Structure 1
Amino acid sequence: MFCDFFCSLIIWVVFSILKSSFFVTNTYVYVQPDKRDVVGLQEQVFVRKVIELHDKYMAYVNDCFVNHSLFHKALKEAFEVFCNKGVSGSSSAELLATFCDNILKKGGSEKLSDEAIEETLEKVVRLLAYISDKDLFAEFYRKKLARRLLFDKSANDDHERSILTKLKQQCGGQFTSKMEGMVTDLTLARENHSGFEEYLNSNPNANPGIDLTVTVLTTGFWPSYKSFDLNLPAEMVKCVEVFKDFYETKTKHRKLTWIYSLGTCNINGKFDSKTIELIVTTYQVPLPPLDEKKKVIEDVDKDRRYAIDASIVRIMKSRKVLGHQQLVMECVEQLGRMFKPDFKAIKKRIEDLITRDYLERDKENPNMFRYLA
């Protein structure tokens, strides 16, 4: 019995030392500056170092401490604290999304073999498990995925689908549903283009005389883009009308909204010495990086309000009457898989639901709420 107690005591002491070591080493990596001045490179190096650090300590836990649950707990708790700190004004969620983008896009700073890419993506998804704001990662990742897909910057379709599978296994189907829809849209767009070419071959009088490729996007899957009317040249107006006619042969119940800011035009410029192909935007309204980041955060905050509302209504519909503290705790537990809700935000949503007649306060105990059917 004394031996068992002594062994348990030793394990606890080693656990405490190892946990402290995690914090010290993580803080060391966190504050180390990188002397190179390439924009974004420090963040890439930071994520790479965190991956290496996680591999190192995971090997210790698996090999030296024979997979003991107490040491897995120490590693988990330390990385949860560390991975939820910001770096140079950016959240860990944004850094991981940017790191993935550099791996998956053409010409990215990470030059890896297919096997190394798969292994690295697997490790990034493991790190995501420690991050509270997974929904923020999802929104940043979705924006970057949209750029890769729409501007033909994705290096490999298989890798794009592979990381979505990993994210789905880690975070659930709802987490990746929009992203999977985006990838599917691009596959359907290629099939659509083949059908459009067949339509033009069957209707030579409709051919506008300009090579046209249209990507039809499903509104609910993609980030929102500004749409403005544009006075197109007559030749391009004909292109738009011809595609509308073709699209109506496939479906009559969908409305096309043209996003010219995402389009490009290839123009042959004929000069005295030679012909040069110019690639220009159809219409471009770029958002400055800071404004775009602000919009991502605003979109996530809006989605979180809806998620908190839905969670509160589900809980109260089931429980009918519940105290404030218990309602907040159950709401945090429900939403913890996607993000860590702020208590003040939950309180604010409760007050809003009261004004909208979903809930009411108990007249005798203001800390008790009743569900109104």
Structure 2
Amino acid sequence: MCTGRHGNQGAVELGSETKEPLLVYQKLLEAAWIFRTRSYYEQEAKQAIAALPLSEFIRKAHRRLEEESARCQRYLDPSSHDKVLHPMITEYIIQHADIIYADFRTMLVKQQQQDCFIIYTLLLRVKDGVLPLQTTFETFITNECRQKLSTLDWTSPKIIGEYVDSLIALYTHYTTICERYFANDPGFVAAFDKAFRAILNDRVKIRQPELLARHCDQLLRRRTRDTAQALEERLVTMIKLFGYLDDKDIFQKCYSRAMAKRLIADASISEELEMTVISQLRKLCGIDFVGKLHRMLTDIELNRDLNASWQAWSGNASDGGGIDMTALVLTTGAWPLLNQSQSQLILPSMLERSLSNYTAFYQEKFTGRKLTWFWHLSKADVRMHHAKRRYELSMTLYQLAVLLCFNRQSQCSLSEIRQQTGLVAGDLTRTAKSLVDCGILRSDTALDTEPSNALLSINEQFESKRTRIKINAPSPVESAQEQTTTAKAIDDDRRLFLQAVIVRVMKSRRELLHLDLVSETIQLATPRFNPDVAMIKRCIEQLIDKQFIERDLTNRDLYRYVA
């Protein structure tokens, strides 16, 4: 059957004066066109699927679809467009959908993204046609990422960097696929998010929240050739990965501890980058999540002005101000100083005057505040004169306290040093070993085997090519007790958070059934961590004991808020 634009227009004009102006056109032209179209494509599609590889078949289907669409626009009324394309879509796509779905994963594996794009555009014309593609896409990403990450060597000392590099590469790769070939379709983006949420919450040898926090710490400490912009982009990607974590509170705990150490040691690469991370975390988790992190940065900024005032004050002091010192005044409760030393350091006498002067200065400036000194976090710069040349040493205050014991005598036993410094056995052994390892002190026995009987002496033959030497601080391995303490701190924080959520819900609802209260609590707590139902029940019982809520006397599943 042949027709043209004029024939089409004539058929339409024949019915223009009737109640149904397109009726004549539909009966004379449209119905016959649709019938012939269905017959033609039914035969052609059967021949094509049998003779062609699927890649060529979908390309031919895509080409036919474009041709038929152009033909409809040229010869038919606009109202016929979808009606005419439907039989073509049915015969070429719907009738062979199972084959297309089955080969979609193969195309993903072979990285035939252009073919995946064509399949996507074809199935977009079918109701719910892309849903199976989204499921396949999610499963494919999950399996591929797990397979590639499983090949990493977890015994490597660089495993954290290697793991995160692989994770970021996979994230960037599949993000690009979503953008370029699936037009950021919400369904495919959701499938991508589900896959990465599963990957980021897999159990690996290092907890994922802790792993991401440690890598962020490495980025913010490391001096690299990367530009500030490149580091910022990487950190932003890290926070996007953080968004997939279920246990965000564990990341917060690990990151805040690392940030505290970084700021106290003045090892941060940039306060702007620190603020970038905080801002990104705030967008995802709210102001409460980053309140302490922001307070730590504020403390560092305030201490610059405070130390400038202290330098002016000490310069005008009548006794000369003592040995030069600066202090970091940290807000109690904002800094997670969990690894507090058990040692009660006996402060060397030469430092007492500076300490008393600073305390007087601070109390003069801020009345009613009390200072608590953390000696295990303190540092000192020392000049050493006993060797052939003078050296300037940068060390911890514990190391200084040990070295000062040798100002009056050339050798000391560990027990004598312990009496003079007040250091407990573990801190003293690690500190002494660090000084022996760098060659400043000598020991008559191995400090790893019999430290209590060790006799230490000054190494008169100490030599170094550098005159300015940084003595590495002893870094004790986190003990099982410290790991238990950290886990308990996380558990306590979760319990308090759940109690606050329950009180907030009950205060707004006044009364609520048990299942509804548990459901709302889970919903509100999930952005921070996945709460355990048993923990929620314990928190409810604790709040009943504290008289924040009460049970109904007749219905034991009903709770009421106690004003």
The answer to whether the superposition gives a TM-score over 0.5 is yes
Please state how far the C-alpha of 1:112 moved relative to its aligned partner.
Answer: 2.7
2:485 to 288, 295, 314: 295
Mapped to 1, the partners of 2:353 and 2:203 lie a distance apart of 50
Q: Counterpart of 1:138 in structure 2: which amino acid?
A: Q
Contact 1:128 1:134 in 2 (8 A): yes
Q: Which has the higher contact order (CA 8 A, sep 6+)?
A: 1
After superposing the two structures, state which structure 1 stretch, 22-31 or 69-78, moved more: 22-31
Match of 2:202 in 1: 85
**CA deviation map 1:42-74 (0-9, x unaligned):** 122111211111111111111111111111110
Mapped to 1, the partners of 2:305 and 2:124 lie a distance apart of 68
Match of 1:363 in 2: 553
Please state how far the C-alpha of 1:203 moved relative to its aligned partner.
Answer: 2.0
From the superposition, tell whether residues 287 and 301 of structure 1 become closer, same or farther in structure 2 (CA, over 3 Å). Answer: farther
Match of 1:105 in 2: 221
Match of 2:236 in 1: 122
Contact 2:200 2:244 in 1 (8 A): yes
Q: Counterpart of 1:211 in structure 2: which amino acid?
A: D
Mapped to 2, the partners of 1:186 and 1:361 lie a distance apart of 48
- Does residue 253 (structure 1) correspond to residue 442 (structure 2)? The answer is no
Contact 2:544 2:550 in 1 (8 A): yes
Q: TM-score, normalised by structure 2?
A: 0.62
Mapped to 2, the partners of 1:60 and 1:129 lie a distance apart of 20
Contact 1:200 1:206 in 2 (8 A): yes
For 1:252-331, what aligned pairs fall within 5 Å after superposition?
252-283=367-398, 285=427, 288-290=477-479, 291-331=481-521
For 1:31-180, what aligned pairs fall within 5 Å after superposition?
31-34=150-153, 38-39=156-157, 41-88=158-205, 90-106=206-222, 112-180=226-294
Mapped to 2, the partners of 1:125 and 1:188 lie a distance apart of 27
Mapped to 1, the partners of 2:222 and 2:177 lie a distance apart of 36
Mapped to 2, the partners of 1:53 and 1:125 lie a distance apart of 15
Match of 1:8 in 2: 127
Q: Secondary structure at the match of 2:135?
A: helix
Mapped to 1, the partners of 2:124 and 2:233 lie a distance apart of 41
Q: Secondary structure at the match of 2:226?
A: coil
Q: Counterpart of 1:20 in structure 2: which amino acid?
A: T
Q: TM-score, normalised by structure 1?
A: 0.92
For 1:316-355, what aligned pairs fall within 5 Å after superposition?
316-355=506-545
Match of 1:188 in 2: 302
Mapped to 1, the partners of 2:548 and 2:128 lie a distance apart of 52
Contact 2:376 2:396 in 1 (8 A): yes
**CA deviation map 1:307-365 (0-9, x unaligned):** 10111111112222211111111001112222221111101111222222222333333
- Does residue 17 (structure 1) correspond to residue 206 (structure 2)? The answer is no
After superposing the two structures, state which structure 1 stretch, 278-287 or 9-18, moved more: 278-287
After superposing the two structures, state which structure 1 stretch, 6-15 or 192-201, moved more: 6-15
Please state how far the C-alpha of 1:281 moved relative to its aligned partner.
Answer: 2.0
Contact 1:29 1:46 in 2 (8 A): no
Mapped to 1, the partners of 2:209 and 2:484 lie a distance apart of 14
After superposing the two structures, state which structure 1 stretch, 94-103 or 75-84, moved more: 75-84
Q: Counterpart of 2:385 in structure 1: which amino acid?
A: K
Mapped to 2, the partners of 1:222 and 1:85 lie a distance apart of 30
From the superposition, tell whether residues 281 and 272 of structure 1 become closer, same or farther in structure 2 (CA, over 3 Å). Answer: closer
Q: Secondary structure at the match of 2:394?
A: strand
Please state how far the C-alpha of 1:6 moved relative to its aligned partner.
Answer: 5.8
From the superposition, tell whether residues 92 and 8 of structure 1 become closer, same or farther in structure 2 (CA, over 3 Å). Answer: farther
Contact 2:152 2:163 in 1 (8 A): no
For 1:193-212, what aligned pairs fall within 5 Å after superposition?
193-208=307-322, 210-212=323-325
- Does residue 224 (structure 1) correspond to residue 313 (structure 2)? The answer is no
Q: Secondary structure at the match of 2:126?
A: helix
Mapped to 2, the partners of 1:105 and 1:303 lie a distance apart of 28
Rg bigger for which structure? 2
From the superposition, tell whether residues 68 and 242 of structure 1 become closer, same or farther in structure 2 (CA, over 3 Å). Answer: same
Q: Counterpart of 2:534 in structure 1: which amino acid?
A: K
Contact 2:220 2:270 in 1 (8 A): yes
Match of 1:372 in 2: 562
Q: Counterpart of 2:187 in structure 1: which amino acid?
A: L
From the superposition, tell whether residues 233 and 316 of structure 1 become closer, same or farther in structure 2 (CA, over 3 Å). Answer: same
- Does residue 29 (structure 1) correspond to residue 172 (structure 2)? The answer is no
Mapped to 2, the partners of 1:357 and 1:169 lie a distance apart of 35
- The runs of 5 or more residues in structure 2 that have no matched partner are 1-81, 90-122, 399-422, 428-474
Aligned residue-pair number: 367
Mapped to 2, the partners of 1:214 and 1:300 lie a distance apart of 30
**CA deviation map 1:73-131 (0-9, x unaligned):** 1011111111112321x221111101101111045xx7632121011011011111111
Moved over 4 A (4+): 1-6, 284-287
Q: Counterpart of 1:85 in structure 2: which amino acid?
A: D
**CA deviation map 1:219-259 (0-9, x unaligned):** 12101353654321222111110001111221111100111
1:213 to 326, 341, 359: 326
From the superposition, tell whether residues 334 and 197 of structure 1 become closer, same or farther in structure 2 (CA, over 3 Å). Answer: same
Q: Counterpart of 1:289 in structure 2: which amino acid?
A: E
Please state how far the C-alpha of 1:30 moved relative to its aligned partner.
Answer: 3.2
Please state how far the C-alpha of 1:207 moved relative to its aligned partner.
Answer: 1.5
Q: Secondary structure at the match of 1:87?
A: coil
Mapped to 1, the partners of 2:354 and 2:379 lie a distance apart of 14
